[in-house]
């Protein structure tokens, strides 16, 4: 078995941006159980948090989970430890976005949707997927 | 009575029916909605990154503007409501950030404006509404869909219980319709994922509409223009993915309130609904 590469700076960065303490999570899995989009995620919320706790930078950053988080806050409401999980997911997204990765590309949005969707759908997506 | 009103961008475009029916309802109960002068976008989604202060500027400026008018501002759009209310809460908790932003702006804001949703206003004025109801909606079985932003985070929004809210059902009962409970009334419709991952939004919205139908609703009522879009406009796509799916009409809360108050049909904006609401309204003799 190979040794895990623990990146402590990365852990600190996640905690700073999100203002959450990763050690508060005891992995009960309630966030994932209630997440409406967990079945779209390669790594569901509790697994992304486990990667964070272990300082596994690459696993966190490669995970698609945070991109399916709609910030609906069901997990935040139900977490028995008071962890604001959507803030952790946002931290992953902003680390990517500030490095100019994962930015929304208007030319890739469905044309019919662009004309049809309410402005707040587009504005929300633009504000979530830019920096 | 006169109350400052912040419509937000979508009420002038794709959610016009919410705006026209809001004005019609409030004029019917004798309340003037005084639109804030020169308002701008609230910034939509509230930022969850603690090191991002820029996104608090737009909400703060709107709150400062509202404060010049009155201590309360009425906000019907769930996203605007959530963003303004969370920003307000945060600026109250974090006075250092409030001071820093104030220093850079012409306006100044003290954190004391009250952001009010129309359903909260209606809760506070039950007798007034009751006295103005002209049409009985009693057989119409309504599923009240709260979505996320009116409820969460509970500590900051304080609208109702985040897991088992009742304010919407009480409103529906007040105007004489029959509220039908369904477990997924507080679950996410997919929100802005409709832009980047449409399948996730189609599935989430389908799941909750099926859940509402399984509990016997005739129609689903909401307050959020984005939920409205996902629940209403995506039904064609739900049908493609799930051939057995039967379409169901969606209303803004202000549209059914307007019907109960006897507002003229031309002010309801029903023609903009993608799923026709006319059959069900005719069936119950409401048009």
Q: Give yes or no for residue B29 having a pLDDT over 90.
A: yes
Q: Give yes or no for residue B115 having a pLDDT over 70.
A: yes
A73 touches B: beta carbon within 8 Å = yes
Bridge partners (DSSP) of residue B114 are B72
Closest CA to B9 of B225, B231, B190, B195: B225
Q: What is the mean pLDDT of residues B114-137?
A: 96
**Which domains does chain B carry?**
2-118 (1.20.1050.140), 135-283 (3.40.50.11810)
Interface mutation vs chain A, best among B44, B52, B195, B225, most A CBs within 10 Å: B195
Band of pLDDT at residue A127, cut at 50, 70 and 90 = very high
pLDDT of residue B129: 96
Q: Give yes or no for residue B259 having a pLDDT over 80.
A: yes
Supply the pTM of this predicted model: 0.96
Least confident of A1-10, A19-28, B21-30, B101-110: A1-10
pLDDT of residue A1: 58
Q: What is the mean pLDDT of residues A20-49?
A: 98
Task: List, in order, residues 6 or more apart from B94 with CB less than 8 Å away.
Answer: none
What mean pLDDT, rounded, does chain B reach?
A: 96
The ipTM of this complex is 0.95
Interface of A with B in 5-24 (CB under 8 A): 16-19
Q: How far is A99 from chain B (nearest CA, A)?
A: 15
CA distance A31 to A52: 15
Q: What is the mean pLDDT of residues B179-204?
A: 97
Q: Give yes or no for residue A131 having a pLDDT over 90.
A: no
Nearest CB neighbour to A121, from listed B152, B188, B194 = B194
Q: Give yes or no for residue B287 having a pLDDT over 90.
A: no
Which string of DSSP letters, residue by residue, matches B129-150? HHHH--S--TT-EEEE--TTTT
Q: What is the pLDDT of residues B145-191, one digit of tens each?
A: 999 999 999 999 999 999 999 999 999 999 999 999 999 999 999 99
| Contact assessment for residue B60 and residue B109, using Cβ atoms and an 8 Å cutoff | yes
CA distance B74 to B93: 22
Nearest CB neighbour to A120, from listed B44, B49, B197 = B44
pLDDT of residue B223: 96
Q: What is the pLDDT of residues B43-72, one digit of tens each?
A: 999 999 999 999 999 999 999 999 999 899
Residue with tokens 């890739």, as numbered in its chain: A108
How, if at all, do strands B32-35 and B72-74 pair?
unpaired
Q: Give yes or no for residue A4 having a pLDDT over 80.
A: no
Beta strands in chain B (DSSP E): 2-5, 32-35, 72-74, 114-116, 141-144, 178-180, 219-222, 250-252
CB contact under 8 A, A90 and B49: yes
Chains A–B, number of C-beta pairs less than 8 Å apart: 132
% of chain B beyond a pLDDT of 90: 98
Q: What is the mean pLDDT of residues A34-63?
A: 97
Band of pLDDT at residue A101, cut at 50, 70 and 90 = very high
Task: List, in order, residues 6 or more apart from A90 with CB less than 8 Å away.
Answer: A17, A18, A66, A69, A71, B47, B48, B49
pLDDT of residue A2: 66
B241 touches A: beta carbon within 8 Å = no
| Contact assessment for residue B252 and residue B228, using Cβ atoms and an 8 Å cutoff | yes
Q: What is the mean pLDDT of residues B253-280?
A: 96
Q: What is the mean pLDDT of residues B122-127?
A: 96
Contacts with A77 from chain B: Cβ below 8 Å:
152-154, 162-163
Q: Give yes or no for residue B136 having a pLDDT over 90.
A: no
Interface of B with A in 86-145 (CB under 8 A): none
Of B287 and B6, the structure prediction assigns the larger pLDDT to: B6
Contacts with A36 from chain B: Cβ below 8 Å:
187-188, 190, 204, 207
3-state percent breakdown (helix, strand, coil) of chain B, nearest 5: 50, 10, 40
CA distance A68 to B261: 41
CB contact under 8 A, A70 and B233: no
């Amino acid at each position: 078995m190979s040794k895990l590469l623990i990146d402590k700076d990365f852990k600190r960065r996640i905690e700073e941006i999100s203002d959450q303490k990763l050690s508060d999570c005891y992995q009960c899995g309630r966030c994932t159980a209630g997440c409406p989009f967990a079945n779209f995620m390669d790594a569901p919320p509790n697994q992304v948090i486990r990667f964070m706790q272990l300082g596994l930078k690459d696993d966190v950053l490669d995970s698609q989970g945070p991109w399916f988080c709609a910030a609906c806050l069901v997990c935040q409401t139900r977490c028995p430890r008071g962890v604001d999980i959507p803030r952790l997911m946002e931290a992953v997204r902003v680390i990517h976005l500030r490095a100019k990765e994962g930015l929304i590309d208007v030319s890739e949005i469905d044309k019919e949707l662009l004309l049809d969707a309410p402005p707040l759908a587009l504005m929300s997506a633009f504000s979530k997927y830019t920096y | 009575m006169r109350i400052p009103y912040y419509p937000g961008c979508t009420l002038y475009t794709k959610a016009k029916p919410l705006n026209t029916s809001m004005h019609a309802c409030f004029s019917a109960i004798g309340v003037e909605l005084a639109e804030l002068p020169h308002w701008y976008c609230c910034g939509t989604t509230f930022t969850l990154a603690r090191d991002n202060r820029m996104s608090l500027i737009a909400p703060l400026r709107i709150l400062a503007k509202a404060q010049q008018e009155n201590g309360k501002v009425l906000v019907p759009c769930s996203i605007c409501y959530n963003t303004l209310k969370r920003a307000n809460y945060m600026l109250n908790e974090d006075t250092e950030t409030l001071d820093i932003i104030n220093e850079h702006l012409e306006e100044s804001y003290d954190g004391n404006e009250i952001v009010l949703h129309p359903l909260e206003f209606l809760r506070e004025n039950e007798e007034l509404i009751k006295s103005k109801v002209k049409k009985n909606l009693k057989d119409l079985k309504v599923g009240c869909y709260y979505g996320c932003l009116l409820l969460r985070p509970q500590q900051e929004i304080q609208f109702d219980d985040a897991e088992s809210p009742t304010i919407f059902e009480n409103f529906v009962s007040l105007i004489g319709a029959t509220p039908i409970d369904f477990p997924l009334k507080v679950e996410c419709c997919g929100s802005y994922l409709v832009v980047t991952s449409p399948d996730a939004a189609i599935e989430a919205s389908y799941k909750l509409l099926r859940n509402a139908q399984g509990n016997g609703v005739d129609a689903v009522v909401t307050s959020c223009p984005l939920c409205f879009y996902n629940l209403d406009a995506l039904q064609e796509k739900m049908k493609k993915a799930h051939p057995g799916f039967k379409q169901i009409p969606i209303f803004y809360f202000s549209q059914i309130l307007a019907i109960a108050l006897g507002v003229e049909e031309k002010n309801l904006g029903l023609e903009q609904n993608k799923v026709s609401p006319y059959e069900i309204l005719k069936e119950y003799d409401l048009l």
